[in-house]
């Protein structure tokens, strides 16, 4: 949706959107999905404050969920919810620039990796498995390389592994307008037609043909658990204002590239959809080829979100779960 279209809205309508709160639920102790409740807290580490959610029985193997762009601790918890049935404890921090973690706590992948290690110190957690997604994968890769003694396994899903060219920069006016009005238009559209949001999301996250996109939209809309999960995922991108600093920083770090993949010594599994339209499939191939001894699972004919929303999501999750169970600490 272009700025020109938004500016063309009737002033009364725009004024109404500005007054409307968007219905965003910002409760730090809310249910992000039926049965999945977060309890956001903040730890003061030696590198700065970090917001996090920690769920699961004490003493269980811990998986550190490193969220994607436009995310936060809520998204990290949601993306890792499938692990809970296998008895893992899930630690989901908000990376710097997201929600309650200030960008000053760490901009580069190296700084963020060290921040997460400091968080483990504060929480008394020795070693973790890592679940890293999309723009969070460079941080996951870097953590595994810089802190091998604290990493017992690594799973990357749709992860960035190579430098990415700069996208067109938006002006401050455009960004401000989209922050206040654009997100509310998206929320309003979702209330009127979730199907429109699903189709638009697939345009950005897949290289599907028109036929494939139509089939996937129908699958998500007509499969209760997939639709419910999509709506929950959509909700973890709001409010934009609390997620843009981290998202912009992720883009800057992605342009820099340089993930130390060859230095990763822990067991690693790379998962990627062959029709990923957000992070191209060759990022997965590159990571699997450069990480020593890495395993891979290619999701044929799947997009960026197929691991959670595709018809074969359960199979992909089973592969990742089996990998983590195989490498988790014995005690």
Instruction: Name all domains of the chain by residue range, CATH numbers in brackets.
Output: 31-161+240-327 (3.40.50.1820)
- CA 166 and chain centroid, separation: 20
Residue 108: what pLDDT?
98
> Cα angle vertex 101, ends 305, 22, to 5°?
60
Kind of pairing between the strands at 151-157 and 128-133: parallel
Residue 189: what pLDDT?
65
CA–CA separation, 37 and 55 (whole Å): 9
CA–CA separation, 16 and 36 (whole Å): 33
CA–CA separation, 71 and 175 (whole Å): 18
CA–CA separation, 161 and 261 (whole Å): 8
> Measuring CA to CA, which residue among 203, 198, 204, 255 is closest to residue 227?
198
> Cα angle vertex 275, ends 169, 184, to 5°?
45
> Measuring CA to CA, which residue among 230, 56, 64, 74 is closest to residue 132?
64
Q: Which residues pair with 154 in a beta bridge?
A: 130, 268
CA–CA separation, 212 and 277 (whole Å): 13
Q: What is the pLDDT along the chain (331 residues), one digit of tens a residue?
A: 333 333 333 433 444 444 434 556 779 899 999 999 999 999 999 999 999 999 999 999 999 999 999 999 999 999 999 998 889 999 999 999 999 999 999 999 999 999 999 999 999 999 999 999 999 999 999 999 999 999 999 999 999 999 988 654 444 544 554 565 566 666 666 666 889 989 999 999 999 999 999 999 999 999 999 999 999 999 998 888 899 999 999 999 999 988 999 999 999 999 999 999 999 999 999 999 999 999 999 999 999 999 999 999 999 999 999 999 999 998 6
CA–CA separation, 297 and 157 (whole Å): 10
Written as one string, the DSSP assignment of 143-203 is: HHHH-GGGEEEEEEES---S--PPPPPPPHHHHHHIIIIIHHHHHHHHHH-HHHHHHHHHH
> Measuring CA to CA, which residue among 219, 213, 221, 214 is closest to residue 195?
221
CA–CA separation, 201 and 70 (whole Å): 13
Q: Which residues pair with 133 in a beta bridge?
A: 157
Give start and end residues of each alpha helix (H) in the chain. Answer: 3-7, 11-19, 73-79, 109-123, 137-146, 172-177, 183-192, 194-205, 210-222, 224-235, 244-256, 281-290, 306-309, 313-327
């Amino acid at each position: 949706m272009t700025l020109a279209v938004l500016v063309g809205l009737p002033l009364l309508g725009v004024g109404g959107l500005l007054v409307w709160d968007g219905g965003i639920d910002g409760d730090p102790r809310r249910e992000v999905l039926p049965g999945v409740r977060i309890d956001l807290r903040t730890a003061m580490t030696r590198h700065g404050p970090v917001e996090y959610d920690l769920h699961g029985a004490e003493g269980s193997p811990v998986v550190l969920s490193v969220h994607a762009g436009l995310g936060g601790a809520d998204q990290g918890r949601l993306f890792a919810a499938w692990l809970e049935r296998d008895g893992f404890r899930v630690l989901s921090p908000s990376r710097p620039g997201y929600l309650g973690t200030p960008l000053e706590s760490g901009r580069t992948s190296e700084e963020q990796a060290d921040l997460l290690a400091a968080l483990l110190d504060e929480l008394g957690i020795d070693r973790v498995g890592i679940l890293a997604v999309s723009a969070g994968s460079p941080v996951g890769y870097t953590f595994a390389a810089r802190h091998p003694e604290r990493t017992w396994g690594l799973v990357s899903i749709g992860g960035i592994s190579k430098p990415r060219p700069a996208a067109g920069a938006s002006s401050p006016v455009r960004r401000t307008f989209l922050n206040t009005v654009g997100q509310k238009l998206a929320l309003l559209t979702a209330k009127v037609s979730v199907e429109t949001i699903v189709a638009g999301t697939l345009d950005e996250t897949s290289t599907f043909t028109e036929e494939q996109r139509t089939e996937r939209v129908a699958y998500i809309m007509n499969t209760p658990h997939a639709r419910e999960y999509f709506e929950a995922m959509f909700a973890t991108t709001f409010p934009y204002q609390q997620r843009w600093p981290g998202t912009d920083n992720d883009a800057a770090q992605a342009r820099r590239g340089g993930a130390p993949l060859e230095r990763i010594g822990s067991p690693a599994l790379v998962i990627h959809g062959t029709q990923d339209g957000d992070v191209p499939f060759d990022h997965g191939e590159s990571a699997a080829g450069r990480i020593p001894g890495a395993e891979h699972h290619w999701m044929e004919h799947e997009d960026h979100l197929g691991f959670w929303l595709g018809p074969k999501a359960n199979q992909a999750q089973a592969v990742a779960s089996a990998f983590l169970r195989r490498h988790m600490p014995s005690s």
